[in-house]
Amino acid sequence: MGLVVQKYGGSSVADAEGIKRVAKRIVEAKQNGNQVVAVVSAMGDTTDELIDLAEQVSPMPAGRELDMLLTAGERISMALLAMAIKKLGHEAQSFTGSQAGVITDSVHNKARIIDVTPGRIKTSVDEGNIAIVAGFQGVSQDTKDITTLGRGGSDTTAVALAAALDADVCEIYTDVDGVFTADPRVVKKARKIDWISFEDMLELAASGSKVLLHRCVEYARRYNIPIHVRSSFSGLQGTWVSSEPLVQKSQQQGDKQVEQALISGVAHDTSEAKVTVVGVPDKPGEAASIFRTIADAEINIDMVVQNVSAASTGLTDISFTLPKTEGRKAIDALEKNKAGIGFDSLRYDDQIGKISLVGAGMKTNPGVTADFFTALSDAGVNIELISTSEIRISVVTRADDVPEAVRAVHSAFGLDSDSDEAVVYGGTGR
């Protein structure tokens, strides 16, 4: 008998019908002879709605209280799912993150899992129950307060539990049929990927492909947990994310190894903003004090660009990108240290978007960068910032240009599918 960890995202449990459909799927996995642990997200857009509600009460709510509020979303779905399973004649018990042993640090709204002690879950499934666990939440080791893992964090809960329980597989059920070569909501001709390496998936996730959260993929790679991303609305095979290439059974050709694509896909992200620090003295230590200020405010940044200084003034500009949700905090922290750092002014721009091309083939293929820029230029898209890694190239553009730019790059690299259009079964894309 195997142990399977399944995770159902918000769009899969958006309403009572969705919960009943998911309950049936979970019961099927149990009837196939597995022990089943199901991690569940909040119903539909509940988390966004709770954040909106909090902001109506207080524009910058206290992290501790926001976490208390948001974890309620997952509690609702876990309890309803357990009820629906019992209605089908099977035993189920629901658990909060804290009860499931998800131990985190004490950083509210984006806590990191530091340990998982799933004793109660183990006992529950050993007694024949299906265990339902509230995703996205844990409890701080130090403060004992309830924490959340950051948006999309149920993915991480699932992989962390799969690792702690030594599960055979972690299945991530969502509203599309797997990981595609681009977001199917933007590119109708996106193609489903059968297998993708942890490395390429990490880059796609870090670049905004929210089908899997970056931290969840990091966790899966560290503990070597294969992930199967698939739809809860169809019975199709999805995408395998693992270290070793997938071996596919094919009747005509016998076993066939799926090869790593040269280009895995195109990702986009419109959740970031750009801060420009204007008039920074061009001398050692300036960048250090700017980014120390940002780090002390516990803000993660993404891209950084420093312009050439104007010889006449000896001043330069430094731009960086960060999550929009951290924008206010970053500006406040820099303003507070303005005298110490010594800059003229700050500019804040939240109308930007990022487009990234990801693929292992980039390491050895020198034409990729030129082709990428050509595709953007043919689409009339202006590039504002550029950053690269060994297997990724990213640009920042105007947010309005993103959909067109993603489609142009997808076509230019021959990624368009010539068969069916990619199906989006649910969700609002929020």
Residue 10 beta carbon to Mg ion: minimum distance, rounded to whole angstroms:
7
Residue 126, C-beta contacts closer than 8 angstroms, at least 6 positions apart: 35
Nearer to ligand ADP, 21 or 329 (CB): 21
Question: Cα separation of 26 and 398, whole Å?
Answer: 43
Residue 116 beta carbon to Mg ion: minimum distance, rounded to whole angstroms:
20
Nearer to ligand ASP, 47 or 337 (CB): 47
Phi, psi of 268 (to 5 degrees): -140, 160
Nearer to ligand ADP, 98 or 156 (CB): 156
Nearer to ligand ASP, 153 or 426 (CB): 153
Question: Cα separation of 57 and 49, whole Å?
Answer: 13
Residue 32, C-beta contacts closer than 8 angstroms, at least 6 positions apart: none
Nearest to 96 by CA among 118, 115, 114: 118
Nearer to ligand ASP, 67 or 155 (CB): 155
Q: Is 75 exposed, middle or buried (0-12, 13-18, 19+ CB in 10 A)?
A: middle
Question: How many residues touch Mg ion (CB under 5 A)?
Answer: 2
Residue 171 beta carbon to ligand ADP: minimum distance, rounded to whole angstroms:
12
Task: Residue 42: name its binding partner from Mg ion, ligand ADP, ligand ASP, none (Cβ under 5 to 8 Å by kind).
Answer: ligand ASP
In a 3-state reduction of DSSP, which class is residue 279? Answer: strand
Task: Residue 176: name its binding partner from Mg ion, ligand ASP, ligand ADP, none (Cβ under 5 to 8 Å by kind).
Answer: ligand ADP
Residue 47 beta carbon to ligand ASP: minimum distance, rounded to whole angstroms:
3
Residue 422 beta carbon to ligand ADP: minimum distance, rounded to whole angstroms:
8
Question: Cα separation of 396 and 398, whole Å?
Answer: 7
Site of interaction with ligand ADP (CB under 6 A): 9-12, 41, 152, 174-176, 179-180, 182-185, 209-211, 265, 424, 427, 429
Task: Residue 179: name its binding partner from ligand ASP, ligand ADP, Mg ion, none (Cβ under 5 to 8 Å by kind).
Answer: ligand ADP
Nearer to ligand ADP, 212 or 303 (CB): 212
Residue 279, C-beta contacts closer than 8 angstroms, at least 6 positions apart: 313, 315, 317, 343, 344, 345
Q: Where in 341-360 is the site for Mg ion (CB under 5 A)?
A: none
Dihedral over Cα of 402, 407, 411, 414: its sign: positive
Residue 345 beta carbon to Mg ion: minimum distance, rounded to whole angstroms:
38
Site of interaction with ligand ASP (CB under 6 A): 9-10, 41-42, 47, 73, 135-136, 151-155
Name the residue number minimizing CB distance to ligand ADP: 9
What are the structure tokens assigned to 148, written together?
């959340």
Enter the DSSP assignment of 388. E
Among 118, 138, 150, 152, binds Mg ion (CB under 5 A): 152
Determine which helix (DSSP H) or strand (DSSP E) holds 204, and give its type and residue range: helix 198-206
**CA-to-CA separations, 89 to 13, 28, 36, 82, 85, in angstroms, rounded:** 20, 12, 15, 11, 7
Give the residues lining the site for Mg ion (CB under 5 A): 9, 152
